[in-house]
Structure 1
Amino acid sequence: MAPILDIKNLYKNYGAVEILKDINVAIEPGDFLVLVGPSGCGKSTLLNCIAGLEPITSGTLSIGGQDMTHVSPKDRDIAMVFQSYALYPTMSVAKNITFGMKVRGVDAATQERKLKEVASQLQIEQLLHRRPGQLSGGQRQRVAMGRALVRDPKLFLFDEPLSNLDAKLRVEMRSEIKKLHQNLGATMVYVTHDQIEAMTLATKIVVLKGGVVQQIGTPAEIYNNPANLFVADFMGSPAMNLIPAKTRQNGSGTEVEISRGDGSAIVLKDSHSRDLPEDVILGLRPEDIAEAGFRAGQDVQQAQCMIEMVEPAGADTFVVSELGGKQVTARLHAETSARAGAMLDLAFDLGKVSYFAPGTGERLN
């Protein structure tokens, strides 16, 4: 299957400043691509380049197998949903949704049919006669999505569409967009700085930092096998624990030594023989550090740790211990007996471990 969006060697400069550097991304029809990264990483600029709102400095960009590098936005067969919704305040919801079709000369019967379909999909039938000023943020968001949906474009582009909504509504709208994607089988490109949004919506994620692609992969690949320290730290909430450690080969396995807050050390045995430097950063997700007895397996190693802080969080309790000079978070069950200031046996699942080079930050395993 040919990619529906294919970006090759894309660079974007403003004068002498390079904003995007050698971007290569391809997605299949029906993919949900999320561009994620901290503020200023270039994700919205990349979306604007796909939309044709920003000219690219070099490289190529094709949509549906056609070179769109120098084609104007209106001829790219895309629809965009902005953070600000960009609705016409003097027009009713119905007119906002059908306005683009009217401009393109679509006949009235087709306009009416598409309006009905989209209004029912988004459950906004009762709002069609209202004006944007009479709607809540979530309702405006739906109208903006409705306006994009009636286009039936090759690509839907979303620029941080949920960032103006409160937390509860964001979660609802996120499910709404995911359902929409599943029902339509449409291809979507979505910009967010919220890594939870990225993990829940995407079929493919591009993590950007400083205009450079750090990693491209499925949510599972990026979560379980981050390519470098930046991705490990950025994706996941709470973030991956990144602990300075020393390694040495021991028979068929690898010994990992981590200093404790009191100056002593814990030694964990990784059953895999790995070609690692002496100094590494060991990465483990909070859920891969459990209370002893609650995690079994040949790669699970136990060690006594001093608990410094206990944070109940409903179904989970997070506990913090100092290891390798860092605050290390473990995700325990709600009924844990952990107490701040007391020792607790923790189980480390080294089957899930990531190792990184302290200098470059690159993944080593």
Structure 2
Amino acid sequence: MAPILEIKNLYKNYGSLNILKDVNVSIGSGDFLVLVGPSGCGKSTLLNCIAGLEPISGGSIEIGGQDMTHVSPKDRNIAMVFQSYALYPTMTVAKNITFGMKVRGVEKAEQDIKLAEVARQLQIEPLLSRRPAQLSGGQRQRVAMGRALVRDPKLFLFDEPLSNLDAKLRVEMRTEIKKLHQNLGASMVYVTHDQIEAMTLATKIVVMKGGVVQQIGTPAEIYSKPANLFVADFMGSPAMNLIPAKAKKNGSGYNVIIERAGGEPLVLHEKRTKKLPANVVVGLRPEDIGDAQYRKGRDLHVSSCQVDVVEPAGADTFVLMSLGGKEVTARLHAETGATPGKEIEFAFDMKKLSYFDADTGDRLELQ
């Protein structure tokens, strides 16, 4: 089956400034693609190129198997939800939602059917006679989504649609969008700088930096096997611990040596086979460093480390320590006995360790 969206070798330049560099992305029908990265990485520009709001400098864009590279936005069969909602202030909610259909000459009876269907889906039936000024931020967001839904497009495009909402409402609306995607089976492209939003919504994530795609994968792939140090550091909250280390051959495996201030180095025994360079960066998620007393398993390395800071966080307790000259976070049991200045036994999950080349920053795959 042909991809619903296929971007090939896409470049976008403003004069001599390269904004997007050789972007290649494709998604199947029903996928939820999230473009994520820091401010200025090119994700909104890429979305505008897909929408046809920005002309591209090279490459091609296909939607539903048709080349849309030079097709105007109105003929691309897409619907876009903007950060600002872009609602008409003098029109009622009902008229805001049906306005696009009216312009396209859709019969009044069909407009009414579509409006009723979308209002029910988004639970905005009581709001149809109100104007945007009488709505909360979350209600305006629903109306903007309703206007996109009535078009029944091949592709929905969302440009940071939740960034104007407060934290609690963001979480609620995120759930609404997730439900909407599941119920409609629609194909969506969504831009955000919030990596938690990306992880919870996406079926596929594109991580960008400086106009270059760093990694494309499922949320689980991006989280567990980041392609490089940038992705490892950007995705996850708290971020992955990235610890400088030395690798020395030891039989069929390696000793991975991590310096500790004022004490013996921490030596992890890596049994997986692959040639490691002398200088590596060890990546380990906070949840993969646990309390030894609660962890059992054959691939655990247990070692005593000094606790610097203890941060209770309800169900978990975060403990900070210093390894390899870096502050390292462990996610421990709520009932941990850790206290600052004391040593406790930590269990390092060797199966979950990632390794990165200290010079290139690229992930090193082990067997």
TM interval, shorter chain, is: over 0.9
* TM-score when normalising by structure 1: 0.99
Matches of residues 194-205 of structure 1 in structure 2 within 5 Å?
Answer: 194-205=194-205
Residues 49-100 of structure 1, C-alpha deviations (whole Å, 9 max, x = no match):
0000000001010000000000000000000000000000000000000000
Q: Indicate the SS of the match to 1:50.
A: helix
Is the CA contact 1:249–1:273 (under 8 Å) kept in the aligned structure 2?
no
Is the CA contact 1:310–1:340 (under 8 Å) kept in the aligned structure 2?
yes
Residues 319-350 of structure 1, C-alpha deviations (whole Å, 9 max, x = no match):
00000000000000111000011101101001
Q: Indicate the SS of the match to 1:331.
A: strand
The question of 1:299 aligning with 2:296 is answered: no
Q: CA deviation at 1:291?
A: 0.7
In the alignment, what sits opposite 1:362? 362
In the alignment, what sits opposite 1:308? 308
> What is the CA–CA distance in structure 2 between the aligned matches of 1:295 and 1:116, rounded to whole Å?
54
Q: CA deviation at 1:188?
A: 0.1
In the alignment, what sits opposite 1:269? 269
Is the CA contact 1:284–1:354 (under 8 Å) kept in the aligned structure 2?
yes
In the alignment, what sits opposite 1:88? 88
Matches of residues 208-287 of structure 1 in structure 2 within 5 Å?
Answer: 208-287=208-287
The AA in structure 2 aligned to 1:75 is: D
The AA in structure 2 aligned to 1:15 is: G
Q: Indicate the SS of the match to 1:230.
A: helix
Is the CA contact 1:87–1:96 (under 8 Å) kept in the aligned structure 2?
yes
Matches of residues 333-344 of structure 1 in structure 2 within 5 Å?
Answer: 333-344=333-344
Q: Indicate the SS of the match to 1:320.
A: strand
In the alignment, what sits opposite 1:317? 317
> What is the CA–CA distance in structure 2 between the aligned matches of 1:81 and 1:261, rounded to whole Å?
52
Residues 104-140 of structure 1, C-alpha deviations (whole Å, 9 max, x = no match):
0000000000000000000000000100000000000
The AA in structure 2 aligned to 1:125 is: E
> What is the CA–CA distance in structure 1 between the aligned matches of 2:312 and 2:326, rounded to whole Å?
21
Q: CA deviation at 1:297?
A: 2.3
The AA in structure 2 aligned to 1:241 is: N
Q: CA deviation at 1:263?
A: 4.3
Q: Indicate the SS of the match to 2:197.
A: helix
CA RMSD of aligned residues (A): 0.7
Is the CA contact 1:270–1:299 (under 8 Å) kept in the aligned structure 2?
no
Is the CA contact 1:317–1:334 (under 8 Å) kept in the aligned structure 2?
yes
The AA in structure 1 aligned to 2:57 is: T
In the alignment, what sits opposite 2:14? 14
Q: Indicate the SS of the match to 2:351.
A: helix
Residues 195-222 of structure 1, C-alpha deviations (whole Å, 9 max, x = no match):
0000000000000000000000000000
Matches of residues 32-181 of structure 1 in structure 2 within 5 Å?
Answer: 32-181=32-181
Q: Indicate the SS of the match to 1:290.
A: strand
> What is the CA–CA distance in structure 1 between the aligned matches of 2:18 and 2:251, rounded to whole Å?
49
Is the CA contact 1:268–1:302 (under 8 Å) kept in the aligned structure 2?
no
Q: CA deviation at 1:270?
A: 1.6
Is the CA contact 1:247–1:280 (under 8 Å) kept in the aligned structure 2?
yes
The AA in structure 1 aligned to 2:335 is: E
- State the number of aligned residues: 365
Is the CA contact 1:115–1:150 (under 8 Å) kept in the aligned structure 2?
yes
Is the CA contact 1:8–1:24 (under 8 Å) kept in the aligned structure 2?
yes
Q: Which runs of 5+ in 2 are unaligned?
A: none
Is the CA contact 1:314–1:334 (under 8 Å) kept in the aligned structure 2?
yes
The AA in structure 2 aligned to 1:327 is: E
